[in-house]
Chains A and B, each alone.
Chain A
Amino acid sequence: MVAFDEMSGSGAELRPAYEALDRWLKEAPPEMLALRRSQAELFFRRIGITFAVYGDEESTERLIPFDIIPRVLTKPEWTKLEAGLRQRVTALNMFLADVYGPKECLKAGIIPPDLVYRNACYQLEMVDFKVPHDIYCHIAGIDVVRVDADTFYVLEDNARTPSGVSYMMENREVMLRLFPELFSTHRVAPVDNYPDQLLATLRSVAPRSASSDPTICLLTPGQYNSAFYEHSFLADKLGVELVEGSDLLVKDDVVYMRTTQGPKRVDVIYRRIDDDFIDPLAFRSDSVLGVPGIIGAYKAGNVTLANAVGTGVADDKAVYSYMPEIVKFFTGEEPILKNVPTYRCREPEANAYVLDNLEKLVVKEVNGSGGYGMLVGPHANKAQIETFRRKLKASPEGFIAQPTLALSTCPTFVASGVAPRHVDLRPYVLSGANGISCVPGGLTRVALKEGSLVVNSSQGGGTKDTWVLDA
């Protein structure tokens, strides 16, 4: 299986977007590149040390490797991708408004009701509750992968609390510092207006009771959360308070921050705490991170939570396989972005195919998370395949299957020099009463191990700057 390469396409060609970069890579003295790489690492180590230090010993371990060769998208590629993202997020929001409201898509048979009703992410608290402007997913991170020159697949919709946007911004920052000459030969669309767009999005969804200058804050689980660096970074760029659960208090269904000048009313909360932990009086009572009573205030319409509670039902693995139908049902258009082809084993025909082709497919348990309960056919032994065969026969509705994908590759610095490595892309899509916005590009994640398809930072993945060329 030969993967599409972002720079050289399917063979020895040089794709136009990479021409100047290729020349630069060939001309730049290796010592200079090595020096820049270590400078980049130093830059991140500094931020890493500043932010990601936990205890005594692990001071520097939390750096996510950064690769200095950018991933480049042309304007036409991005334009199409962006249209697809806008369409997808529009559909996600309409789907959420529907399943918590009139349930037309269930009545029309677009998606089996049990996938919604039996889903633990379908939050009963949200049923028949109208959120401001019908927007549930204010901040979405849509993971896409590329398989050829024209095809992007959506791998996963992150509709809860997607992270990583700070890396998108820091990657650009370090590239601008280290390679100013590259930016004079490439017209790269900027990403540093993301915080402004996010702030505008958050302001636009303030409750009606808020003043024209709503008070916004960012709610973090605290400094021991692995994404605390990002929370702190974003609060700073947004110019809003970074609050922990204990900084907020709810009185008579109104949320206040504890300040040195007494309680101050809060209108919009960009929360980076999961549903289950956000209110011990509504969800898990053992949560000490949350704010008692915040759901009461939310439902009284006195505060807006971004993202809304209960968005998890839209990015669930089982619901994912219905996204093309969901997009079509709600927007009336053909989906611009495809899903990875997915076999729903609950459908007898699909299950029959899956059972015949187990050694070629990736089989995922719909309620499993993080690779738990997964069969990777090409890498599995006979016994593992037989175990899954039995499981699939016993409860087919619990599984989906997908072909193994050849994610595109991008030239990357590795020990032996420059070599192709698999990448994905997470663009960030913002939805507010002011419309949808999407900063050009997003976060490119790269699997640094040769042949690896796993881009997660916890498993040896790194990141790259992502360029959308303006001309």
Chain B
Amino acid sequence: MLSRTADSLYWVSRYVERAEYLARILDATTRLTNLPTTYGGAGTEWQSAVLTAGCEEAFAKAYGEANERNVCDFLTFNPDNPSSIRNCLAQARSNARAVRTALTSEMWDALNGAWLELQRFEKKRMDREEFARFLDWVKNVSLVFDGSAYRTMLRDDGYWFSRLGVYLERADNTARILDVKYHVLLPANEQVGGSLDYFQWTTVLREVSALTAYHWVYREAVKPILVADLLVLNRRMPRSLAACYESISRFLDSLGDAYGRQGPAQRQARKTLANLSNTRIDDVFVHGLHEFIEEFITENNRLGNTIFEQYLQ
């Protein structure tokens, strides 16, 4: 297939995934800030939401203070923020339009419908309730798009590139949530893993829809080390880094088999997957979660570049 087509399919999925992620961050942050400070509200939640979204520089330029209004505005409809929800959906649709015939009509309808609907939300003044509905709607768009792709796309290279976009983005998002939580949410005088940040860790689990899963898997109160275990190493947890890499590696192998040629992307993905499989969470904490995550994010970006060089340019 055309490299540009593959590239667009890949980015359509990445942008939709990113839009959903932003909605999840905003949803969880709103909940967290509603708590009385004694239960974990540290006053830095909105700043942390910006950090988790990975756009602190752009935000600092556009606004001064990280409060609810500024951050929500910046991450949802701000046209100047390249990764606001609005711009993610716009980018997804624009990429989709350029390769319209490579998508199924269900996928296109999901995106095009979302784009038209988004403009209705954009014009409204939203109260908190309305805003919550909007965030649910964004998550829903992603579910519908993802489901359409899963149910209607031919299982060939187009599908695999589209999936690679989903999982690379998801891995990056999960890693960022963990990293920001680890460093920023924690008040300076609190020891990492202390009891006060219980609600904050719960929030992390909420951000990745894993609160129930956590209880099923560990049957314990929420503990940082177990949250990290779930989100980094547990392959049963669909947003964990290990699960993402299992998928990435599988789809890259499908590409390699179909094209009759393996390349650096396949080798790199397998190496990262092997690392995740051979690591115990205790070792991660001994060497430092932050260092581990930082290295992972770098590797994940590197894989993105490798895929680009190998297939998409």
Contacts and interface: CB of A to CB of B under 8 A. Distances in A.
Contacts of A243: 2, 4
B3 interface: yes
A188 interface: no
Nearest to B3: A258
B1 A232 contact: no
Contact of A258 (B4, B97, B101, B255): B4
B100 A50 contact: yes
Contacts of A51: 100
Contacts, number: 49
B157 A260 contact: yes
B108 interface: yes
Given A50-B108, A50-B112, A59-B116, A259 B101 contact: no
A232 B116 contact: no
Nearest to A229: B100
Contacts of A175: none
A59 B94 CA distance: 14
A242 B259 CA distance: 21
B98 A223 contact: yes
B212 interface: no
B313 A258 contact: yes
A247 B98 contact: no
Contact of A259 (B2, B94, B98, B116): B2
Contact of A223 (B6, B97, B119, B311): B97
A38 interface: no
B282 to A, nearest CB: 41
B161 interface: yes
B281 interface: no
B1 A259 contact: yes
A377 to B, nearest CB: 46
Contacts of B1: 241, 259-260
Given A51-B100, A261-B259, A247 B2 contact: yes
Interface residues of B, number: 24
Given A50-B108, A223-B98, A232-B101, A260 B119 contact: no
Interface residues of A, number: 22
Contacts of A53: 97, 112
Chain B interface helix/strand/loop/mixed: helix
B100 A247 contact: no
A107 to B, nearest CB: 47
Contacts of B101: 232, 235-236, 242
A258 B119 contact: no
B226 interface: no
A232 B105 CA distance: 14
A268 B4 CA distance: 20
Interface string A249-292: 00000000111110000000000000000000000000000000
A259 B108 contact: no
B312 interface: yes
A434 interface: no
Chain A interface helix/strand/loop/mixed: mixed
A97 to B, nearest CB: 34
A135 to B, nearest CB: 27
Given A241-B2, A257-B2, A258-B3, A49 B112 contact: yes
A56 interface: yes
A365 interface: no
Given A51-B100, A56-B119, A59-B116, A246 B259 contact: no
A82 interface: no
A49 B313 CA distance: 30
A244 interface: yes
Contacts of B259: 260-261
A257 B259 CA distance: 16
Interface string A39-77: 000000000011101001001000000000000000000
Nearest to B6: A260
B93 to A, nearest CB: 9
A247 B3 contact: yes
Contact of B312 (A50, A223, A257, A260): A260
B97 to A, nearest CB: 6
Contacts of A242: 101
Contacts of A246: 4
A53 B6 CA distance: 22
A439 B313 CA distance: 39
Nearest to B90: A56
Contacts of B116: 59
A52 to B, nearest CB: 10
Nearest to B100: A232
A94 B187 CA distance: 84
Interface string A149-180: 00000000000000000000000000000000
Nearest to B93: A53
Contacts of A59: 116
Nearest to B260: A261
Interface in B101-144: 101, 105, 108, 112, 116, 119
Contacts of A259: 1-3
Nearest to B113: A49
A416 to B, nearest CB: 34
Contacts of A56: 119
A58 to B, nearest CB: 12
Interface in B42-64: none
A260 B311 contact: yes
A260 B161 contact: yes
Contacts of B255: 260
A244 B4 contact: yes
A18 to B, nearest CB: 37
A51 B161 CA distance: 23
B153 to A, nearest CB: 16
29 contacts: A49-B112, A50-B100, A50-B105, A50-B108, A51-B100, A53-B97, A59-B116, A222-B98, A223-B94, A223-B97, A223-B98, A241-B2, A242-B101, A243-B2, A243-B4, A247-B2, A247-B4, A258-B2, A258-B4, A258-B313, A259-B3, A260-B1, A260-B2, A260-B157, A260-B255, A260-B259, A260-B311, A261-B259, A261-B261
Interface of A: 49-51, 53, 56, 59, 222-223, 232, 235-236, 241-244, 246-247, 257-261
Among all A-B residue pairs, the 7 with the closest Cβ atoms: A258-B3, A260-B311, A236-B101, A260-B6, A223-B98, A261-B259, A247-B4
Given A50-B112, A242-B101, A247-B3, 4 more contacts: A258-B2, A260-B2, A260-B259, A261-B261
